[in-house]
Amino acid sequence: MDVFVSTYPFGTDDPQPRKLLDDSNFNVSYNELSRKLTVDELIERAGKTRVLLAGTENLMPFLEQNPNLEMISRVGIGLDGVPLNECKRRGIRVSFTPDAVTMAVVELTIGLMLSASRHVGNLDRRLRDGQWSRPSGRRLEHSVIGLFGFGRIGSRVAHILTSFQPKEILVHDSLDKSEEIQALRNHGLRIRQVEFEEMLTKSNLLSIHVPLYNKTRHRIGLEELKLMPSGSTLVNTARGGIVEEEALATALQNGILASAAIDVFELEPYKGPLTELENLIITPHIGSCSYDCRFRMELESAEEALRHLRGEPLQRKVSDREYEYQL
């Protein structure tokens, strides 16, 4: 087998990416189960493929069972499921589609910020249950907003927030972001880069935008949430595992946080106690689920797979920095 497409959906909104693969001279197979594959299912179906178009699967066990694998073309941006340095050791090329997903995640983030700050999800449920309840929420203009991570997505979130003119934006990132921050200041945004603890202690609204790797796994636990001001809101559209789910539940149940909105979970599909919390908005990892975004991700990943098989240079190789994150 030349190509196996494990991610789902693929070619559902627009058939062009699938047609591109089907019209090539290569042997292509797909995940036809209409859901995320388990590790064993992936090994069984794609154990001899040369190229894998991957979703969010944990690929380490797959690598160990497939000596034929030459390339992983990640349909998306997150690389926590791809053991990059093991791929490097084995000579497996890795590409991804980070630019395709950016604005779709940014828009969802802003939407969740607004919805959680104004209790939209909870009030929708109450009204359907016959309750006419009108509690006050917090406007973004009157909020100090913390951005944990200031890469492609975090910086674009800040750019969109220019229109809301929040009281201040506090950025924490492992890299110096002074140039990007100054550009936003030139547009009238009150924004600065701060240490991790200052971001937590001063932010009424905290939004997560870091990748998941060893240093960020469970970086936001109960002690960190307790540092935030009373009545705060947390939004996570990055990766499950950065925020401890048990700590988040405790914080929401005990008034440490007023509200939260999360699109990502440690184990997906998610089935757990967070679904019972009224002051939490949960969505099933839909950050990339806009028609244009999904199309670009699928098309770009398919194009990269075919470039590899034809011996052509890749255009979306994973950068050295991503490999360093996983050391």
Q: Note whether 138 and 165 are within 8 A (CB).
A: no
Distance set, CA 273 to CA 249, 252, 290 (Å): 8, 12, 28
Residue 249 CA, chain-centre distance (Å), reads: 20
Catalytic machinery residues: 239, 268, 285
Q: How far is CA 136 from CA 117, 119, 208, 280, in A?
A: 9, 8, 24, 16
Q: Which two tokens stand for residue 108?
A: 């969802």
* Cα(23)–Cα(60) distance, integer angstroms: 30
Closest CA to 148 of 107, 112, 196: 196
Which helix H or strand E contains 281, and what residues bound it?
strand 280-282
Q: How far is CA 161 from CA 99, 165, 169, in A?
A: 20, 6, 9
Contact by Cβ (8 Å): 195, 172: yes
Helix 152-161 to helix 98-117 angle (10° resolution) is 50
Closest CA to 260 of 227, 228, 282, 289: 282
Expressed in percent and rounded to 5, the helix, strand and coil fractions of the chain are 40, 15, 45
